[in-house]
A and B are shown apart, each in its own frame.
Chain A
Amino acid sequence: MISFVDVNKWYGDYHALCDINAEVAKGEVVVVCGPSGSGKSTLIRTVNRLEEIKSGKLTVDGADIQGPRAARDLNRMRSRIGFVFQSFNLFPHLSVLENVTLSPMKVRGVKREDARATAMRLLTRVGLANKAGSFPAQLSGGQQQRVAIARALAMEPPAMLFDEPTSALDPEMVGEVLSVMRGLAEDGMTMMCVTHEMGFAREVADRVWFMDAGRILEVADPETFFSSPQHPRSQRFLSDLRAH
């Protein structure tokens, strides 16, 4: 579904992504973890080309998203990849319902009534149907992030990307967002999540990618990764996590 072949990226002299070769299969849930600055967010942002890559090939659902010819089709390709940000990025001038219906109507040409029906179904699913008329600033962080997930789902994307979706949340709101994500995973959504929620990774992930210094150092199923990590760097990372 999402495949990286020899992907490299530099910020000036800094080698942000080194020789990334990896694949997310259809229906698979991949959790990308690793220390800060390891390139996790950069990696996930290359998948819908919020970041450009220097070399290599990145295909999503068979489409070469970073290729030179993608520029023309980029918006259509992006509309087929859901993206959830750390800082929610809801549109503050639009109501919750309008946040969810805007893009289906304006990008995909869905009729207003249909977009509204879909939006209400999705808002019900994330437990916020009663907030349809509210504005983002009237919602808590956890509610905003759930609306952001509904907004991304409204485009009916075959794959969803999550870039530290719970990092900006107060602890008591993390659970409500993770439970929505768990529900998506159970429904067979292809997901790639950058997260520090190791409990979520252990429970929900099919595979864990461990990154450091722009490289994927270890790919393992969560059971193996958390009980017997192979790479010395991931061993250190996990023991640091357990230390507190």
Chain B
Amino acid sequence: MWSVVDIVRDNWLLLLIGQYPHGPLGGIAATLILSVFGILLAFPVSVALALARLSPWRVLRWPVTGLVYATRGIPLLMIILWTYFLLPVLTGHTVSGFTTMLCTLVLYEGCYLSEVVRAGIEALPKGQSEAAKSLGHGYYGRMRYIILPQALFNMLPSMLSQFISTIQDTTLGYVINVQELTFAANQVNNQLLTQPFQVFFILAITYFVVCFTLTQATHWLERRVAARRRGIPAAVPVTPAADGLPLPTGEELP
């Protein structure tokens, strides 16, 4: 047990930031930066993909549907390897592992998130879109002011869960030498040679703490969204109060 504490004491900086500033940023810092940028860039991609999948034009709908199906049907590791070997061929430059991993995450998480966005849009009552149409809003206005604000708000918890999976997905960057947390742990393991269980125990605990904290945040957010929905129902048609009486507002009805 004490060996775990010793390993942490001796290697905490490596686990936290990798070899920085003497080498590329690594460790938890790199994992989190990769995840945060991955999800931030994947978000607009996912909205675009979702809108394309819901588009009335086949030219947009079919290829994007194909892309989303293909991506969801292929293991992430496979996509990482493809990007790793394809990206340099396509761009003609050597591309760092970090950039490769980021591109892969944006594509992969973008496709998964687009299904969440699509579901969020389709879950809204049809009357919302009809009301917006009847007031003269065009497609852009309907999406920008009516549909997306409601759909995205309802999806906040799902998006945070997707962020948590993204953090776990970054471990796969290890295979293309991205210097994130797993990579750092493996470096430690290679130095010590004799204590793999302790090292990978630390690694597991670290991921668990980060993800568990975020899962708790998701639950908190879910409750907030649910409470706000009770106040402002978004995914159900608006109905009068169940007891049929106006809410106590102190207002005299005419």
Contacts and interface: CB of A to CB of B under 8 A. Distances in A.
A130 B232 contact: no
Given A50-B134, A131-B251, A136-B232, A173 B150 contact: no
Interface stretch (B29-37, B102-110, B123-131, B179-187): B123-131
B63 interface: no
B141 A89 contact: no
Interface string A73-101: 00111111111010111111100000000
Contact of A78 (B134, B150, B153): B134
A35 interface: no
B interface majority secondary structure: loop
Interface in A129-163: 130-131, 135-144, 148, 151-152, 155
A140 B240 contact: yes
24 contacts: A75-B137, A80-B136, A85-B130, A87-B237, A87-B238, A89-B128, A92-B150, A92-B232, A102-B135, A106-B137, A106-B145, A107-B137, A127-B254, A131-B249, A136-B232, A136-B238, A137-B230, A137-B232, A138-B231, A139-B246, A140-B240, A140-B247, A141-B241, A142-B253
Interface in B184-201: none
B146 interface: yes
B253 A93 contact: no
A81 B138 CA distance: 15
- Which of A81, A92, A139 counts the most chain B CB atoms within 10 A? A92
A141 B247 contact: no
A176 interface: yes
Given A91-B128, A176-B253, A135 B136 contact: no
A140 B242 CA distance: 10
Given A76-B136, A169-B240, 17 more contacts: A50-B130, A81-B134, A87-B237, A89-B130, A91-B128, A91-B131, A135-B232, A136-B238, A138-B231, A138-B247, A140-B241, A140-B245, A140-B246, A144-B240, A155-B136, A168-B239, A168-B240
A42 interface: no
B73 interface: no
B238 A88 contact: yes
Interface string A53-87: 00000000000000000000001111111110101
Interface in B34-55: none
B21 interface: no
A103 interface: yes
B88 interface: no
A48 interface: yes
Contact of A89 (B125, B231, B232, B246): B125
A172 interface: yes
Interface of A: 48, 50, 75-83, 85, 87-93, 102-103, 106-108, 127-128, 130-131, 135-144, 148, 151-152, 155, 168-170, 172-173, 176, 179
Given A91-B128, A127-B254, A152 B231 contact: no
A92 B240 contact: no
Contacts of B137: 75, 103, 106-107
A50 B133 CA distance: 8
A170 B240 contact: yes
B145 A85 contact: no
Nearest to B246: A140
Given A131-B251, A137-B238, A139-B247, A93 B134 contact: no
B235 to A, nearest CB: 9
